[in-house]
Structure 1
Amino acid sequence: MALTGSQILEADDTKTEPVDIPAWGGEVLVRGLTGAERDAYEASIQQIRPKPDGTKEVVLVRDNARAKLLVKCLVDEEGNRLFKDTDAPALGKKNGAILDKLYDVAAELSGMGDAAEKEIEGNSVAALSGDSSSSSPAPSDEPEPNS
């Protein structure tokens, strides 16, 4: 029997996972993103850049990307965010190995990962260039501008 719209909207499908971080003195709760939060996060790490041939490409801007995701995903026991988006620069100054560990959990809970990231990049580039294939463009030899 197929679900109704209200059944779908009422379903609690948010995943949360505790992660032990001894260096911080305890456990951190990581929550997966909602669809809207994931879209906003992905948009925040993408930049449209012109190419020499006049077309445009979408590139992933990895500057503090881990902390930008984690401020949205680290929660208390009631599910309330621990950080605001504006706290990402401060969180980004924490130990990189710890942030990487937490990022991996947050990305997994949010349905993101290497394959999903490549799909985002490939689909975005295709949409802008008019190419209907989903393959990623060849890397550019030009240096990236400083942000």
Structure 2
Amino acid sequence: MALSRDGILGAVDIQTEKVFVPEWGDDVIVRGLTGEELDAFQGSIRQFRPTFDGKGMEPVLVQDNMRAKLLVKCLVDEAGERLFTDQDASALGAKNGAVIDRLYDVASRLSGLSEEEKAQMEGNSEAATDSGSSASSSPETSDAPSLSS
């Protein structure tokens, strides 16, 4: 029997993961984004600029402090409440880059960013599409157990 509308909407499917950060001396909890939050994040780091020939527009990724912009949305307390506001991204981005990068990897995995999307956002891909969308259809899953709030 297939899931009903209520079954789907009632499913608790947002994953969280505790991550020990030795540089900070304790664990942090990383929560994956909802579909709506993921779309908003991806939209916030995309802009359009005129093409070289001036006859159209092309998508470009704004990578300024991108990792911290994702993390302020994904770092939560034991109750699942965000630790930071979006305005805290600059302050969080001033922390150790290796820590931010490790936590970004967890947040992007839990949020369903595909490896191709991640590569495009990090500027490691020459395969950026005109639409800015990913060819991947399935997010990675976590082997780590989810924490329930």
Per the normalisation by structure 1, the TM-score is 0.81
Displacement of 1:125 in angstroms is 4.8
Equivalent residues of 2:59, 2:130 under 8 A apart: no
Change (3 A) 1:121 1:45: farther
Gaps of 5+ in 2: 122-126, 136-149
2:29 aligns to what SS in structure 1?
strand
Displacement of 1:122 in angstroms is 1.7
Change (3 A) 1:46 1:8: same
- Structure 1 partner of 2:49: 49
Output the aligned Cα RMSD: 2.0
- The number of residues matched between the two structures is 127
Displacement of 1:124 in angstroms is 2.0
AA partner of residue 24 (structure 2): W
Gaps of 5+ in 1: 127-133, 135-147
Displacement of 1:116 in angstroms is 3.0
Among 126, 129, 138, which residue is 1:122 paired with? Answer: 129
Identity of aligned residues (%): 56
- Structure 2 partner of 1:8: 8
Alpha-carbon distance between aligned partners in 1 of 2:35 and 2:132, rounded to the nearest angstrom: 21
Equivalent residues of 2:32, 2:110 under 8 A apart: yes
Equivalent residues of 2:58, 2:130 under 8 A apart: no
Per the normalisation by structure 2, the TM-score is 0.79
- Structure 2 partner of 1:20: 20
Equivalent residues of 1:60, 1:121 under 8 A apart: no
Q: Which runs of structure 2 are paired with 1:1-147 in the superposition (5 Å)?
A: 1-53=1-53, 54-117=55-118, 118=120, 121-122=128-129, 124-125=131-132
Whichever structure has more helix as a proportion of its residues is: 1
Alpha-carbon distance between aligned partners in 1 of 2:132 and 2:39, rounded to the nearest angstrom: 16
AA partner of residue 80 (structure 1): E
Alpha-carbon distance between aligned partners in 2 of 1:83 and 1:46, rounded to the nearest angstrom: 22
Alpha-carbon distance between aligned partners in 2 of 1:5 and 1:86, rounded to the nearest angstrom: 36
